[in-house]
Structure 1
Amino acid sequence: MKNRILHIIFLGLLATSCSDDFMEPVSRSTFDNQYIYSNVDDARNGVNAVYSYFNQDAFRSRLSNNMAGNTDIEHSSGWTSEGDRYQIWDLDALPSNRDLDIVWTYAYRAIRDANISIESIQASGSLESPDPNEQADFYQLLGEAYTLRAYWYSMLIFYFGDIPYVTSAPVAGDDFNLPKTDRNEILSGVIQDLIDIEPYMKWADELPYGIEQVNREYTLGMIARLSLQRGGYFLTPDLSMDREGDYLDYYQIAKDYTQKLIELKDRPLPTDFRQVFMNQAKFISPVNSDILFEVPFSLNSGDVAWNIGMTVMGGPTAAHDYGSGNNYMAIPPTYYFSFDTLDIRRDVTCGLYQINQQFEKEFVNSPSNISQGKWSRHFLDNPPGASSAKGTGINWPMLRYSDVLLMYAEAENELNGPTASAQEALARVRQRAFEDTFWPEKVDQYISSISGSKESFFEAIVDERAWEFGGEMIRKYELIRWGIYAEKTQETVEELKDLADAAFAGTTNLPIYMYWRTDESGDFEILNPNRKVVAPPDDTWSQVPFLLSLHSDETQYQEWILYDWENYYNGPNPGVARYIFPIPTIAIENSQGTLKNDGYGF
């Protein structure tokens, strides 16, 4: 059942928090009276202010999904428009880009409110309370504030590189025009914050809001995720990819803290992969399961199944009351065909049908519009209204336990090679992907075949993370830290061209056309999801061009193949993806000369 208490607090705090200018100072007397709490309820309200920024467009439609492409498993056509989101998709955004301004502004407001909560809790004396319950509650709140602050810093670093590092609450008279701090110094700092606080935090099953609240599991997982970011590659101002010489120290931290979570709070992965995401549409948030933390949207907020997920055609003339939803980020056919045909995750992740206004399932209008099938508004039990669009109330997953297992496997492999424990962690994820009758071949033999070297095991991790997390929009950050962003996008384009050529020449065994129908019970069915069929068995099947539609008589390949990823591998420095964006103009102007956009070809 969806938790409503936090959502109401988020929306109320949003109205008071968002009118402030970036890093606006608050007087010391106001700070004393308003923010230093002597009881759990006041402290709870303060930390809730940090959560409120998840309900801003900066997160709910930007960072959570909209801005997290293009990759080898997602794409959108940024070159078709000069609009703000298109500039970002095309890796060519201007400093005046409004979406970048929104993310920068609200990220620093979230950091500001987290700093206020951290200082207030530390100054309250409640961390030394003789009441063990009160003390535990305050440590939990402190951990939430530190973890939320770390998330926003991680995102700012991925998008802007070196940035101002603010760790104190605003006080009148302070200098708010801070210079940039090296990205790695910031990451090292927030990782240490979480290492220090996580032992004092509570597990999700000890909290009133479970996985809809930052918990110890999520913080442990974030230590690992941030450590892999810190130990990974990053773009330098001269447009090359580099990593620090101490990167193995951070792989060790990632290994230690994923292992700690596995040892302290292990859980079996739910056997039904589809149900993990269907739970979100049913407003079910089980603890001790796969999702460790998900952003809790109220029943009239959140953009999941509006701008990400399966297409639903609604509106006032529709024969259904589910409203309208679309997907800004589509899934390329190369990703669809990368799956083993027996992998259960493929048909959950890749949506090949859409819902029309008659509330009927029909094949997607193009292989360039395969959707993220993990979410759809038509999965909701209660239709939100024919004219509805935003505000589905579906939560957004921030971290899953399968991610922890794969981070452990990756870190262990980097440090010690494909050891038995690394293989076991990978096996646990793959076992859910296949019926158990196929485990000897698809799990045991497969893992044996890729465990001959550190390099081959790493490539298997790269693939497994793609198959496991498709549509969850974290691939961009993985490709960055692995240093293979440009490589993987160019590889995708070449594979799409190969598919188009083979389909046009008729030399492929993959579906040049697909044939589909809805049977008498309304079930959507595809005759040949995996193979070429010359003709359907009868006239109940509709034929649609699939791989053949990748070909163009005029340009040989469809324009989206030629241009969607071009700037990712053929940008200012060919072979390197310039994923860093300029600091927004308003932030530069407000810094009074402290900040500037230098390097990165800006």
Structure 2
Amino acid sequence: MKNIFKLIFLAGATGMVMLTSCSDFLDQSSPSEMFPENVYNSESYTKQVLNRVYAGLVLDHTYGCRIPLNLAMNTDVELVDALTETTVTADSERGLCNYNPTNWNRLPTNWNEMYEIIENANLVIEGIRASEIKDNQNMRYYLGEALTLRAMVFFDLIRNYGDVPMKMESTQTDGSNLYLGKTDRDVIMDQLLVDLEEAAGLLPWAGESGYSTERCTKGYAYGLAARIALAEAGYSIREENKTGYVNLSERREGQLGYSDATYPTMRPGDEKRAELYRHALACLDAVILNGKHQLNPSFENEWERINQLTLDQTYQENLFEVAHGMNYSGEMGYTAGVRMNAVSTRFGFSNSSGKVKLTAPFFMSFDPQDTRRDVTCAPYELRDATSTQTMQSNAPFGIYVGKWDVRKMTDAWRSMNQGVSTKTGYGINWVAMRYSDVLLMYAEVVNELYGPQGAGTCGKTALQALEEVRERAFPAAVRADKATAYVAALTSKDAFFEAIVDERAWELAGEAVRKYDLIRWGLLIDKTVEMLDTYRNAVVNDEYVSKLYYKENAAAENWYKIDYSSICWYAEPESKDDTSAGWKNVNFWGNVKKDGAIDDTNSTYDAINYISNGLIRYDKYQGFQGPANVVNRHLLPLGATTISDSNGHLQNSYGFSF
């Protein structure tokens, strides 16, 4: 989107600030060079320096691709497009997502660019705190934004790398803080919660004082704090045992995932955990009580707006969006989205890889009347120059993420894409958090503290928060059954938690949430195995149709050719052999057997041997064979150049050898 698209470059090594524009959206009339102490005594110049922090978010190696689209795979819901022995161990995101990370050369770039954002945020924070006009309202806003952005980036480093250097001040001229070792992630997250509490007190709500959801606002500061508190309260693999912490294997009998003997998966003890849940609840209460953020009544329309590069000014469902520029940045729609198979006269260059995939068990887990399924899951692609919508043939681990869809994009986007012949930025914002996530976190936290009938200070019970999300998902005619009655039946704390685990998948699939949820719940291995078992059992027991029957709408445009209401997902139609009925078909997920037995050479079925095989060992005949490598190793290694550049202060852990 265009609303905050500006790059500003700092030359900090010389003690001077260089302000250089590379777009025409924000007015920049500053001199080309200025001493920092003068910059932070001007609101205008301070805003321009702050924009450089935002500019760091749009890069491919930060929030253009790596954080939301590469590092957040694999789960029971989302997979990278790697299903063979060779691809799941490749020296690329395909190996990395399958928990087989090698010394992929893009990891050091991600690390460096994330820390560059932190460095720039530190400069802004220090500059404003030392400013003569620090108490001006706008300067307070800018400080709140810098604190929130720094917290977001630190949190994403922690979620992906574990313990990292805690660099909370800019680099000193004497180099005294140039090289830092790792700090325990809980220490960092505790500080981030303090920073976000300050930020929330400084920032306006979205829609106030000219702030859109493309800038950090009070709602996002609160929402991010809740997300961090829940992560800290949850499980994560550790470099060593921590006194007072609880091992994953102590959680419940029969759990598949457990602690490694050397690198345990642990969470804080009950007292600290309850404290973090109470902190999260206070933050979520504040967002809900204010009422600034609401659910768009239509799930489909919310994603239509996102594809149209249009900010939701009515409901403000998105608490924060990383702003991208069309023809410049952003891989939403490219790496994740409905796949364009070839150059198209309608949509232009086949500028999409569809590398992020969804799974058949996830698709089949939806209630057939849940409207989110057909917005989220796209088991089809747009083929050839005609962009004809074509059903996939037996791709149970290759369903595209339909939330990003070229067919929903603007004429301006089509004009841009028709004029390029190589990969280019789609400009679709990365939505860092939606209000439905707030409601589901709230429901989870209240249930944990008080049970499903409990409530926070906003007065909403956990049951009501979950019901609000489900109500939107279903047509009005069935909401009494699918939302109200469904939620009312969740009378126990355990049953309600399991419902939250499911609901967050159905609501947030493809949005870089699921992996981190499963990690903090201690369910990453369990849910991965459950997904593979579900597929395996469905094939063995003939639960999937062998051929998928559907009809086409002759009056529709080619890219909407399939009559979606006609698709026979669950059983072949009785009239399938009637040529006058107009049925078309493709081989589908059940097409694995020959003469009643699973075909031993079927590569589609063989994929279950390899999916996430750096995390688990799975056999297509015998099922789960135990964790792989270091148990529950969900974190990434530090790149070799990151280690060599650290002057001996950093090293890998968790059994990584470089």
**TM-score surpassing 0.5?**
yes
- Kindly state the Cα deviation for residue 140 of structure 1 after the two structures are TM-superposed: 1.1
| CA shift in 2, pair 1:322/1:377, >3 Å | farther
Query: Structure 1 residue 403 and structure 2 residue 437: aligned?
Result: yes
- State whether residues 239 and 601 of structure 1, in contact with CA within 8 Å, keep that contact through their aligned partners in structure 2: no
CA displacement at 1:272 relative to structure 2? 1.1
Give the C-alpha shift of residue 314 in structure 1.
Answer: 3.4
- Are 2:267 and 1:243 aligned? yes
What is the TM-score when the length of structure 2 is the normalising length? 0.83
Is 1:55 aligned to 2:62, yes or no? Answer: no
| Matched residue, 1:592 | 647
Q: Show the counterpart of 1:99.
A: 106
**How far, CA to CA, are the matches of 1:372 and 1:159 in structure 2?**
23
One-letter amino acid of the structure 2 residue matched with residue 453 of structure 1: S
Q: Name the Cα RMSD after superposition.
A: 2.2
What residue number does 1:341 align with? 368
Conservation of the 8 A alpha-carbon contact between 1:269 and 1:401: yes
Q: Which residue of 2 aligns with 1:538?
A: 579
Structure 2: gaps of 5 or more residues:
19-33, 240-261, 455-460, 618-625
Tell me what 1:3 maps to: 2
Deviations 1:345-401 (A, max 9, x none): 001100122112212211124333211101122321220333354311111111000
Deviation (angstroms), 1:573: 5.2
Residues 137-536 of structure 1 aligned to structure 2 (within 5 Å): 137-175=138-176, 176-237=178-239, 238-245=262-269, 246-287=272-313, 288-300=315-327, 301-315=329-343, 318=345, 320-321=347-348, 323-356=350-383, 357-365=385-393, 366-382=395-411, 383=414, 384-386=416-418, 387=421, 389-420=423-454, 421-450=461-490, 452-503=491-542, 508=543, 510-522=544-556, 523-526=561-564, 527-534=566-573, 536=576
Amino acid at match of 1:381: T
Taking a change above 3 Å as real, the CA distance of residues 30 and 395 of structure 1, as seen in their structure-2 partners, is: closer
Q: Give the deviation of 1:454 after TM superposition.
A: 1.1
Q: Which amino acid aligns with 2:132?
A: G
Q: Structure 2 CA distance, aligned partners of 1:456 and 1:347? A: 26
CA distance in 2, matches of 1:209, 1:352: 38
Contact persistence 1:513–1:548 (CA under 8 A): yes
Amino acid at match of 1:118: I
Query: 2:40 matched to which residue of 1?
Result: 37
The Cα of 1:576 is off from its aligned counterpart by 3.8
Structure with more of its chain in helix, by fraction: 1
- Residue 205 of structure 1: SS of its match in structure 2? coil
**Distance 1:601-1:170 versus aligned 2 partners, 3 A rule:** closer
> In 2, Cα distance between the equivalents of 1:314 and 1:586?
38
Q: Retained in 2: the 8 A contact 1:258–1:408?
A: yes
Moved more, 27-36 or 529-538: 27-36
Percent identity (aligned): 29
**Equivalent residues, number:** 575
Measure the CA separation in 2 of the matches of 1:538 and 1:370.
Answer: 29
Do 1:413 and 1:419's aligned partners in 2 also have CA atoms closer than 8 Å?
Answer: yes
Is structure 2 residue 81 aligned with structure 1 residue 69?
no
Task: State the Cα distance separating 1:202 from its structure 2 match.
Answer: 0.8
TM-score (normalised: structure 1): 0.91
Question: 1:460-515 CA distances to partner (integer Å, 9 max, x unpaired)?
Answer: 00000000001212111111111111111111111110121122xxxx3x433212
* 1:30 Cα deviation after fit: 7.2
The answer to whether 1:569 aligns with 2:616 is: yes
CA distance in 2, matches of 1:170, 1:374: 41
Measure, in 1, the Cα distance between the counterparts of 2:379 and 2:100. 31
Q: Give the direction of change, closer, same or farther, for the CA distance of 1:525–1:511 in structure 2 (3 Å limit).
A: farther
Give the deviation of 1:61 after TM superposition: 1.4
Deviation, structure 1 residue 34: 3.0
Cα deviation, residue 218, structure 1: 0.9
Structure 1 stretches of 4+ with a deviation exceeding 6 A read 29-32
CA distance in 1, matches of 2:122, 2:417: 40
Q: Aligned to 1:515, what secondary structure does the other structure show?
A: strand
Change beyond 3 A, Cα 1:414–1:54: same
- Do the aligned partners of 2:205 and 2:211 also contact (CA within 8 Å) in 1? no
User: Equivalents in 2 of 1:346, 1:45: separation in Å?
Assistant: 42
Instruction: Deviation per CA, 1:172-196: give whole Å up to 9, x if none.
Output: 1032111110000001101110012
Q: Which has the larger displacement, 590-599 or 116-125?
A: 590-599
- Determine the structure 2 residue equivalent to 1:132: none
Say whether 1:548 aligns with 2:584. Answer: no
CA distance, structure 2, for counterparts of residue 486 and residue 157 of structure 1? 20
Give, in angstroms, the shift of residue 532 of structure 1.
0.9
2:95 to 68, 81, 87: 87
- Partner-residue secondary structure (3-state), 1:206: coil
Amino acid at match of 1:565: S
Give the whole-Å Cα distance in 2 for the aligned partners of 1:396 and 1:462: 23
Distance 2:494 2:162 in 1: 28
Aligned with 1:121 (options 128, 132, 147): 128
Relative to structure 1, is the Cα distance of residues 269 and 577 closer, same or farther in structure 2, using a 3 angstrom cutoff?
A: same
